[in-house]
């Protein structure tokens, strides 16, 4: 595994992006390229502070403003989807962090792989929609993909030292349960955006916070685990663990369970993805088990949080279905955040919109983008 020295950070203005910058600073990594969607003000501040070689924005107008604002520097500014690709391909970084939110991260992921950068991947939607394509490209270019998602980092850590013949029986994927834990379907009818945006343990971007409230996030993570660890979907068992201290676990055939624990702070898995196989001093405090007293575990409420089963059925069906439910959720999630639909409309819309697709088992990235377009249209038509 090559050592991380210079980073490229995609989605540097977001929650994971900023925490990655924090880890980079503490570890003394150079950051040569940063990219985001449209936040040109924050990207300018970051670009100046880090003296990056290049900065890229997906939004062309925002990129123009950034270019004007950075005119007094040597920093190269790129705009648009192709600009992000150019920035990635011309970056001299050995390692990329992909912290873009949503399917928008798929093409940049493929560019990172094709330019042979080790990939610390937070962007789970990419793996859910295009997992097989991403994995095949990574194999072709000899690129390592390291999980940043806390549960998958935990599983990855628990699998270190596995027996040569593996003997893995189960993956135990923990879930905080979100702000609506314990509620029933009828209680969810009138929950507000503000309530959905309050995660008990994690401070994250808006989209994933709403996904955590609906538990679609756990469904995505189930598929993410299938993709990353080559297991069947029925080997992944979800357990609600309110304290978010046990970040996930694995069970071997002898029923021994190995778990990874720590304080809920994303800088731990981000740092591990960058330093692996080394372990370095943490930017986060120590876990004190005695002061916690107890940890609790519950069976998920599948009737209330239907999104988990929607994802499970999607991976069971396979083909383009995981991509379809992901895109339907991206659209429904943003409509909910815009105040256009109710929280309980989310699973209904995902089911109806994805049922309409024509599934196929053999597909490429273009098929994923055309499914994305049609599923999003289906969702909007249904509203
Ligand atoms: P945020 O919403 O905080 O940040 C998203 C980032 O993506 C921003 O930098 C945003 O730029 C950028 N972005 C959006 N659209 C584009 C685009 N089309 N092209 C390039 N950049 C774009 O999200 P999070 O940091 O919370 O999450 C990022 C990813 O990490 C998600 O896939 C999420 O599921 C995953 N993840 C997050 C965790 C967390 O704790 N936050 C935990 C585990 C996984 P701009 O600011 O300009 O809009
Ligand atoms: Mg997670």
CA 100 to ligand 1 center in whole angstroms: 4
Q: Which atom from ligand 1 is nearest to the alpha carbon of 17?
A: 25
List b or e across 356-365, with b for residues whose CB sees 16 or more CB atoms inside 10 angstroms. Answer: ebeeeeebeb
- Written as one string, the DSSP assignment of 108-134 is HHHHHHHTT-EEEE--HHHHHHHHHHH
Q: What are phi and psi of 28, to 5 degrees?
A: 75, 25
Mutation probe of ligand 1 site: the residue of 20, 65, 100 with most atoms within 8 A of C-beta: 100
Q: How many CB atoms lie within 10 A of CB 186?
A: 9
Q: What is the pLDDT of residue 350?
A: 98
**What average pLDDT does range 120-139 have in this prediction?**
97
Q: Tens of pLDDT along 139-189?
A: 999 999 999 999 999 999 999 988 888 899 999 999 999 999 999 999 999
Q: Tens of pLDDT along 357-371?
A: 999 999 999 999 999
CA-nearest residue, atom 4 of ligand 1? 14
Q: What is the pLDDT of residue 2?
A: 80
Q: Does the CB atom of residue 100 touch ligand 1 within 6 A? A: yes
Rounded to whole angstroms, how far apart are CA atoms 87 and 22? 22
Contact partners, residue 101, CB within 8 Å, separation at least 6? 11, 14, 123, 125, 205, 207, 208
Q: Classify 222 as helix, strand or coil.
A: helix
- Name the average pLDDT for the chain: 97
Q: Does the CB atom of residue 208 touch ligand 1 within 6 A? A: yes
**What average pLDDT does range 290-315 have in this prediction?**
98
**What average pLDDT does range 64-71 have in this prediction?**
98
CA-nearest residue, atom 41 of ligand 1? 204
Q: Classify 279 as helix, strand or coil.
A: coil
Q: Does the CB atom of residue 122 touch ligand 1 within 6 A? A: yes
Q: What is the pLDDT of residue 194?
A: 95
Rounded to whole angstroms, how far apart are CA atoms 240 and 157? 20
**E strand or H helix at 313, and its extent?**
helix 307-317
CA-nearest residue, atom 45 of ligand 1? 37
CA 257 to ligand 1 center in whole angstroms: 32
CA 124 to ligand 2 center in whole angstroms: 9
Q: Tens of pLDDT along 178-223?
A: 999 999 999 999 999 999 999 878 889 999 999 999 999 999 999 9
CA-nearest residue, atom 42 of ligand 1? 149
Rounded to whole angstroms, how far apart are CA atoms 109 and 103? 10
Q: What is the pLDDT of residue 166?
A: 87
**What average pLDDT does range 62-80 have in this prediction?**
98
Q: What is the pLDDT of residue 4?
A: 87
Q: Does the CB atom of residue 16 touch ligand 1 within 6 A? A: yes
**E strand or H helix at 192, and its extent?**
none
Q: Does the CB atom of residue 103 touch ligand 1 within 6 A? A: no
Q: What is the pLDDT of residue 123?
A: 98
CA 86 to ligand 2 center in whole angstroms: 30
CA 336 to ligand 2 center in whole angstroms: 21
Q: Does the CB atom of residue 211 touch ligand 1 within 6 A? A: no
Q: Which atom from ligand 1 is nearest to the alpha carbon of 62?
A: 47
CA 197 to ligand 2 center in whole angstroms: 16
- Cis amide linkage into residue 277, ω under 30° from 0: yes
* Contact (CB, 8 A) for 156 and 24: no
Q: Does the CB atom of residue 218 touch ligand 1 within 6 A? A: no
CA 51 to ligand 2 center in whole angstroms: 31
pTM of the model as a whole:
0.97
């Amino acid at each position: 595994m090559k050592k991380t020295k210079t980073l490229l950070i995609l989605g540097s203005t977001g929650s994971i992006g900023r925490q990655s910058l924090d880890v980079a600073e503490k570890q003394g990594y150079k950051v040569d390229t940063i990219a985001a969607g449209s936040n040109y003000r924050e990207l300018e501040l970051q670009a100046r502070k880090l003296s990056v070689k290049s900065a890229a924005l997906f939004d062309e107008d925002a990129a123009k403003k950034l270019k004007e604002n950075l005119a007094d520097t040597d920093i190269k500014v790129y705009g648009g989807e192709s600009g992000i690709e150019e920035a990635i391909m011309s970056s001299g970084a050995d390692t990329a962090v992909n912290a873009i939110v949503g399917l928008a991260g798929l093409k940049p992921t493929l560019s990172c792989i094709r330019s042979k950068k080790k990939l610390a991947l937070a962007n789970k939607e990419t793996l859910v929609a295009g997992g097989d394509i991403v994995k095949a490209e990574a194999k072709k270019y000899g690129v390592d993909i390291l999980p940043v998602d806390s549960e998958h980092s935990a599983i990855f850590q628990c699998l270190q030292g596995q027996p040569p013949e593996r003997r893995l029986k189960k993956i135990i994927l923990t879930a905080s349960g979100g702000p609506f834990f314990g509620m029933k379907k009828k209680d969810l009818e009138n929950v507000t955006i503000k309530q959905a945006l309050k995660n008990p343990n994690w401070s994250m971007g808006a989209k994933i916070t709403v996904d955590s409230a609906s538990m679609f996030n756990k469904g995505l993570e189930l598929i993410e685990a299938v993709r990353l660890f080559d297991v069947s979907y029925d080997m992944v068992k979800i357990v609600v663990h309110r304290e978010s201290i046990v970040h996930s676990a694995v069970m071997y055939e002898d029923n021994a369970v190995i778990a990874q624990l720590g304080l809920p702070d994303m800088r731990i898995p981000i740092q591990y993805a960058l330093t692996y196989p080394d372990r370095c001093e943490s930017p986060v405090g120590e876990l004190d088990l005695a002061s916690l007293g107890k940890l609790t575990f519950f069976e998920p409420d599948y009737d209330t949080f239907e999104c988990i089963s929607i994802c499970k059925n999607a991976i069971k069906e396979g083909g383009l279905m995981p991509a379809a439910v992901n895109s339907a959720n991206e659209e429904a999630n943003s409509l909910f955040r815009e105040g256009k639909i109710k929280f309980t409309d989310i699973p209904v819309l995902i089911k109806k919109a994805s049922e309409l697709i024509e599934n196929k088992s053999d597909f490429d990235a273009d098929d994923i983008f055309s499914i994305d377009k049609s599923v999003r249209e289906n969702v909007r038509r249904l509203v």
